[in-house]
Amino acid sequence: MFSNIPRTRTNPLDPPPEFASIRDEQPVSQFRTPRGDLAWLVTRYDDIRAVLADRRFSSDPRSPGFPSYLTGDVPPPPGFFMQADAPDHGRLRRLVTKEFLAKHVTLMRPKMQSIVQGLLDELSKMKPPVDLVQAFALPVASTIICDLMGVPYEDHVFFQTRTDAILSQARTPEESEHAAIELMGYFDRVITEKEQTPSDGDLLSRMLHHSDGEMTHGEGVGIAALLLLAGYDTMAQIIGLGTLTLLQHPEQRKLLDETPSLASNLADELVRYLSVNHVGLPRAATEDVEIGGQQIKAGDGVLVMLNSGNRDKAIFDNPDAFDIHRDAKNHVGFGHGLHKCIGANFARAELEIVFPALFSALPSLALAAPIEELPFRHEMVLYGLHKLPVTW
């Protein structure tokens, strides 16, 4: 009898406590996913990096043995390079790589700062208590990624609700599939319009203009959906949880106030400490492979537990402590290897801007409800908060 993957948290900002003993005693061991799939959990930092750098582990959900943390089987759409293997993965990823290079992201910073400041001006005029998720975290993440991609922000409610349905472990397979179809239909219309009106004014237009026949229309639709999902939902959850984390660690917030240059450390430490992907990265072995002394057979499913690797005491001193003096750039919160998050530089820049600006605008920011009463996203693929009531 195999145990289910640990999912219950004793502290809402920490992974389930069982992962500490699993790392020490059975770092590569089999568990059942919420759907019932059998998968090897890879929990140690070094083993996680080994799997993510090994081409013998497939990212394609159609691979035999691929585990799922969702309720149904939705095949990856064309262009969804996060769920593709070579050679398609590299071909599709290259179409947008340059948009996220450090030098390009630097040029985006003034626009990010303008967006954040504008939303803070609106927030400061509201009468507290206010839900910071709806009033700030989601609008910041959505507005910034919509501006980059050339997607109307007015459509944010549509894609937020569809994304939630796709990434919820509580939805039925039919609900998730219907939401995915609607979302892909939306981006089909977006890409069609940009094909008919060529421009270099946004990421999607530049991607289409410079693709030189390297992708199909359908692949362009899939890339657009992937970038939006990754660029808004992940960031919104880190902004919400990150605000809560700083409110729970006033001494760290004081350090940030006193030394604004620590914002760079803060961004990576939040990604490490929070690890909002709390269900693991799924892979399937295409050949027999040994990881951490454990033989994994071809056709076996694997879940790479980033949240466990980021709390590995063999790599991080006092890993359960939140410390913005920590140089955490070697964390695996952005993944590792060929599939490492393409938007890591973009995410760092956004977080480096958001938190100093937020606490500068609202220095008396405080929780408006006990942490025990906050509604956390336990049922979602990306951990976070449904609501964060605050006052000032």
d(CA 279, CA 307): 8
Name residue, tokens 């605000």: 243
Confidence of residue 69 (pLDDT cuts 50, 70, 90): low
Which pLDDT score, from 0 to 100, does residue 71 have?
46
Angle between helices 102-124 and 138-149 (to 10 degrees): 140
Q: Which domains does the chain have, with CATH numbers?
A: 18-391 (1.10.630.10)
Which pLDDT score, from 0 to 100, does residue 70 have?
59
pLDDT of residue 234 exceeding 70: yes
- Percent of residues, the chain, with pLDDT higher than 70: 98
Most confident of the ranges 72-81, 92-101, 262-271:
262-271
* pLDDT per position as a tens digit, 301-346: 999 999 999 999 999 999 999 999 999 999 999 999 989 999 999 9
Name residue, tokens 């410079």: 210
pLDDT of residue 222 exceeding 70: yes
Comparing 75 with 304, the larger pLDDT belongs to: 304
Burial of 387 (0-12, 13-18, 19+ CB in 10 A): middle
d(CA 45, CA 51): 10
Would you give the distance in Å from CA 107 to the centre of its chain?
23
Kindly report which listed range (27-36, 169-178, 361-370) carries the lowest average pLDDT score: 169-178
Which pLDDT score, from 0 to 100, does residue 156 have?
86
Confidence of residue 74 (pLDDT cuts 50, 70, 90): low
pLDDT of residue 110 exceeding 70: yes
d(CA 241, CA 13): 8
How much is the pTM? 0.94
Q: Which long-range contacts (CB under 8 A, 24 or more apart) does 101-104 make?
A: 101/345, 102/345
Comparing 176 with 296, the larger pLDDT belongs to: 296
Which pLDDT score, from 0 to 100, does residue 1 have?
54
d(CA 225, CA 188): 9
Residues 3-7 have a mean pLDDT of 87
* Pair 219, 81: CB distance under 8 Å: no
pLDDT of residue 35 exceeding 90: no
